[in-house]
Each structure stands twice: as C-alpha cells, then as structure tokens.
Structure 1
Amino acid sequence: MANIRKVQYTLFGMLAFYMITGIGALVLANMWLSSEMAPREAVISREIERAGAIIGGIVAATGLVGFVGAIAPIRRKDFLLAFIVLLIAVILAELGLGGVIWFKTLRMRSVFQDKWTNEWALSLKAAFQDMTSLSGYGQCCGYAIRGDMVPSESCGPSTPVEIPVCAEKISAFADGYLRKLFTSLFGFTIVNVFVFVTTVILIQTRNDEERYIRIGKKEGRTYMDSI
C-alpha cells in the first residue's frame, strides 16, 4: 500500500502542474481574444488564439478526470484509462499546434511582404513603423523599400533617409512571439509526458495491489482501508 500511496502523491503533484499549464493557457488566450493589439494580431491569428484557449480548457478538464482516478486508483481504474486516452489526444493537439506555429516561422518573410502590400490596414503598418518597444529596433519606414511606407508619426516626406525599412524589425517581432509560443507548447508537452508516465506507473502499481488484495481475500484477510 505504501508504494501506491507514493505514486499517488507524485501523480497529484504532476496533475496540479498539468492543470496549471492548462488554466494558464486558457486565461492568456482569452485575454488575447478579448483585447486588440494590432502588431500581435498580425503575427498570431485569431485561429491560433482560439486553438490555444480550447486546448487549455481541455487540459484543465482532463486534469479533473485524472484526479478522480488518482484519488481511488484501485476502484477507479476506468478513470485512469480514460485519462490516458485523453492525455494522448492533448499531446497530439499541442504538437499539431506547435507544428503550425513552427511552419509560420519558416514562411514569415514572404508572408509579411505579401500582407504588407495587399492585406494589412494602414493603421497596422503605421503601428509597426512607430513601434519602439522592441529591443534593438527603433522606428522604421516601409517594409522592403521606402516606397512601401505609410504616413505615421515616424514616416513622412521629410523622414531622414537613415531610418531603415521595417522588414527586419517585423521579422524579429514575429519571431519572438512565435518562438515563445512554440517553446511553451514544447514545455507543456514535456509536462504531459511526465504525467503520462506517472499515470502508467500508477495503473501498474494498482494492478499489483489489486492482485495482492484478491490473494489476501482468498486467504481470509480483510482490507478495510483499500483504495
């Protein structure tokens, strides 16, 4: 019984951390969805934000299933098995979203050139030109050439020629956001793998404990405190 208790407590800790990651992702995604920050919206689409919110909610919900099973693993093996299946689905979903984000990093320059020319509103272009919060990058004008610039606080007919174009700054801004998201998803996946392994160990331990209980009952022993 001591072994199963030890594995139980380990899984409780892992599940708590697992649920924190889900709740954190859910809260952050909802904050992004409820606010408008033009430069960020150019990099992280609403679809990615919604996917993050959905995955975060699923993680929090599946964590509850894991807790229900872990509280009484001998009597609630079905909950543990269901949690394993759900956890695999979560891992695949996170890897899929991470793959989408990684693919975006490979196509950034060509995509942003097209978006600057054909899609982005003048206000968004102006926001990128005037942005000074990105470390190492100041004001800029235009995307690839000065002829791309739009009127803003930083750019106009009298703008000094020394001010660079915005391609490098926009790529650096996007790369920073996407890499943080990709790294976070990778970290969440590592947590999920540890939770998966711990759950499998608990299932195996409860199977051994259940076998001992059955043998003990045949020999006339009672187990009032069995979990």
Structure 2
Amino acid sequence: MRAVNVSTSSPMTVNLSIQISFGFLLALYLGTGIAALAVGGYFIHTEENSRRSIIVTKNVIALLFVAGAYIVVNAIVGIIAGLSPLSRKRWLQAYIWLIVVTMAVETGAGIWLWLRTLDINDLYGHNWRYLWSDSFKRTFQDSAHCCGYLGPLDGPVMESPSCQMPGHAFGCMTAVQKYAQSYISYIYTGVFLFVFLSLGAMVSGMVMIVVRNDEERWRWTRANAIFRSMKQISPDLAMFTGERRKEELDTQNSIV
C-alpha cells in the first residue's frame, strides 16, 4: 500500500512552476505599486503652468500615492504568504481579497476618467474661464498659437504673442481637447494594464490556495491510511501514533 510507505510527517510541497508563476506575477503586481509612487513623485514636482495639470490634478497625485502605498503593502502580504504558502493559508486569502479591492479602485478610476470625457467641452471651458491661471492658459496659447478658449474674446491672455499676431483669431478649445484626450488615452492604457496585472496576481494566488488545499488533503489521506494500517497491526501503536500526530497538527495550527 502506497500510503503505508510514506511518513505522516513528510513535508508538503508545491510544484516549482506554480511557485515561480506566483512569484513572477507578484513581482509585476509590486511593480505597479512602485510605478504609481514614482509617477506621483514625478508629477508632484511639475510646475503649475504645465499642461499636464488639466488631467494630473492634486487629487490625482494624492490618489497615486495612496494606491501605490496600498499595493506595496498588499504585495508584502503576498511575499509573506509566498514564503510558506502551505502553512499560511490566511495570509494567501488576505492577499487575494486585498487585490480585489485594488481592482475595484482601478476599475472605478477608469470609469471616472471615461465620465470626464463625456462633458470635456463644458468642463475645460469652465476651467479656462474661471479656474486656470493666466500663466497656465498662456502655455496653451503659446504652444498652439491660439488665443482665448473659443476665441480672442473668451478669456484670453493678451500678453501672449499669439493674441497680438494678426490672423490668429481662433481659440484654444481644439488644442486643449486634443491634448486632454491624448493624455487620457495614456492613463487609460496604464489603468487597464494595472487591472490586467492585478487580475493575474489574484489568479496566481487562487491557484496557490487550490494547490495548497489539495496537498493538505492528500497529506490527511496518507495519514489516515497509515493510521488504519497501523491499527490493524497493533491497536496500541496506532493509538500512540494518532495522539502524537494530533499533537503535531495542533502545534502547526498554533504556529499558523
């Protein structure tokens, strides 16, 4: 009988390829958190007159820092679980649920960006007239050689050379929209990439739990088979082995 020849104290193992896949996807997931922190740190040093400020606001930068820190902490939980997946099932479960929260936030951010594009004309028209500084508006006027939002009479910065040159009577609305849409497309790509990597990390964690549970179930099957075989040989020895095995399992559970 196969189980009789296997010790009940034999260590549980996880297939090496599964461990490598888990570690690789975990590293990519950790990379998204580090990237979010790096991008937030880069944008926080952006000058107020940078055109990126129409998309990368202070709230967006704060969100990048919070999301990046959260993902890094989540990845650390995954690293702790991955170092000993067979004895840290709860850590694996926590790792997966934390990724679910990450994916929900990332998906929500994508939906929020999409909603912003629905009223992009009114949004940036209002911002141009009432919120953006003259230095910020002049950045668009100088780069796109335009004047005002809809035209020279719609919130222009007259000090800009483009407003003083004859024949430049068109506004900056098209330039603002094109820049915003092109930048939003980059953000869309980044958000969807983050969601894809988060999904991969979550699936690898779920696979690790399934493999771990199967290995634990197989170990219990072997232990029970050995116990039944020993009971047939010597009831006293079986009782002693069963009690010893129970003590070992209690010790392992207390450690977990």
Task: Say yes or no: TM over 0.5.
Answer: yes
Q: Is residue 2:116 matched to residue 1:116?
A: no
Matched, 1:141 2:147: yes
Q: Report how far residue 44 of structure 1 moved.
A: 2.2
Which residue number in structure 2 is paired with residue 31 of structure 1? 42
Q: Distance in 1 between matches of 2:201 and 2:55?
A: 32
- Would you say 1:150 and 2:157 are equivalent positions? yes
What's 2:18 paired with?
Answer: 7
How big is the shift at 1:139? 1.6
In the TM superposition, what are the counterparts of 1:28-177 in structure 2 within 5 Å? Answer: 28-38=39-49, 39-131=51-143, 138-148=144-154, 149-157=156-164, 159-162=165-168, 164-177=170-183
Contact 2:140–2:172 (CA<8 Å) still a contact in 1? yes
Question: How much does 1:35 deviate?
Answer: 2.8
How high is the TM-score relative to the length of structure 2? 0.78
* Alignment CA distance shift 1:12-1:88 (3 Å): same
CA distance in 2, matches of 1:105, 1:86: 29
In the alignment, is the contact (CA less than 8 A) between 1:140 and 1:154 conserved in 2?
A: no
SS in 2 for 1:61: helix
Work out which of the residue numbers 18, 30, 46 in structure 1 matches 2:29: 18
1:43-66 CA-to-partner distances (Å, cap 9, x unmatched) read 222111111221111111101111
Aligned mates of 1:104, 1:194 — CA distance in 2 = 28
The DSSP-based 3-state class of the residue aligned with 2:161 is coil
Matched, 1:215 2:221: yes
What's the CA shift for 1:144? 0.6
Structure 1 residue 122, shift from structure 2 partner: 1.1
RMSD: 2.0
Residue ranges of structure 2 left out of the alignment (5+ in a row):
1-11, 228-244, 246-256
Runs of 4+ in 1 over 4 A off after TM superposition: none
Structure-1 separation of matches of 2:127 and 2:163: 21
Q: What is the aligned residue count?
A: 215
1:105 CA displacement: 1.6
Aligned sequence identity (%):
26
Question: 1:142-188 CA deviation, whole Å, 9 max, x = no partner?
Answer: 1112212212443244x121463211111111111122112211111
Unaligned runs of 5+ in 1: 132-137, 223-227
CA contact (8 A) 1:65 1:83 kept: yes
* CA drift at 1:42: 2.3
Q: 1:112 and 1:213 mapped to 2: Cα distance?
A: 64
1:190 positional shift: 0.8
- Contact 2:13 2:215 (C-alpha < 8 Å) held by counterparts: no
**Structure whose CA Rg is larger:** 2
Which deviates further from its counterpart, 145-154 or 178-187?
145-154
Distance 2:221 2:16 in 1: 20
Q: Give 1:135's aligned residue.
A: none
Find the aligned partners of 2:181 and 2:48 in 1 and give their Cα distance: 17
Structure 1 length-normalised TM: 0.87
1:179-218 matched pairs, under 5 angstroms: 179-218=185-224
